[in-house]
């Protein structure tokens, strides 16, 4: 049985390798990741993970794994920042507040059956000064990241409290992922 990772994220690939599930092939799904009008964060992140998994070509004997991560402040979805101004806005929203990091995983087995899980991690940032926001924006680390930050990098210094899956905040909740792979018949190495 071969594992196809429907993601080009090096973080997801590394997290999979840690649990003995090194992908045999990488597929880059091309989907529209825009939230639908009125769509709430949990259904949004689950839909995107499923869409990514379905968009990846699956050959005989292959299972596909896809994931998506988003940050939710109340009912608001904080996707990847569009530019530095958007990143500043996101960091301002996260400053001194608790938020949810939702990380969805979808595995499609060799028979075409999709299995899904969503990890919900509560993260609280310290109150950020303008100088800290300037420093983080200048680092460039937050661009291309859900919610505008990478917990595995410089932004970890902003985290006052975390309850849930650290790996889910990085981009792939390994506990949930392992369970889905095992339920799909994949033998972890």
- Comparing CA positions, the residue from 95, 96, 25, 36 lying closest to residue 65 is 25
Catalytic pick among 68, 83, 86, 130: 68
Q: Which residue has the tokens 């799904």?
A: 29
For residue 51, indicate whether it is catalytic: no
DSSP symbol at 128:
P
In contact, 60 and 40? CB cutoff 8 Å: no
Q: Cβ-count burial of 33 within 10 angstroms (0-12 exposed, 13-18 middle, 19+ buried)?
A: middle
Residues tagged active-site: 68
């Amino acid at each position: 049985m071969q594992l196809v990772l429907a993601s080009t994220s090096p973080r997801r690939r590394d997290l999979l390798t840690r649990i003995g599930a090194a992908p045999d092939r990488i597929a880059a799904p091309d989907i529209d990741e825009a939230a639908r009008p009125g769509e709430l964060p949990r259904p949004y992140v689950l839909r995107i993970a499923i869409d990514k998994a379905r968009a990846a070509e699956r050959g005989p004997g292959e299972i596909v794994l896809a994931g998506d991560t988003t940050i939710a402040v109340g009912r608001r979805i904080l996707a990847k920042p569009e530019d530095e101004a958007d990143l500043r806005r996101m960091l301002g929203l996260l400053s001194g507040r608790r938020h949810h990091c939702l990380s969805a995983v979808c595995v499609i087995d060799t028979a075409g059956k999709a299995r899904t899980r969503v990890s919900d991690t509560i993260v609280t940032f310290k109150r950020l000064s303008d100088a800290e926001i300037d420093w983080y924006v200048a680092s460039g680390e937050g661009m291309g990241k859900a919610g505008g930050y990478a917990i595995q990098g410089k932004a970890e210094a902003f985290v006052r409290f975390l309850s849930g899956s650290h790996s889910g905040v990085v981009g792939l909740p390994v506990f949930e992922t392992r369970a889905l792979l095992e339920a799909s018949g994949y033998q972890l190495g």
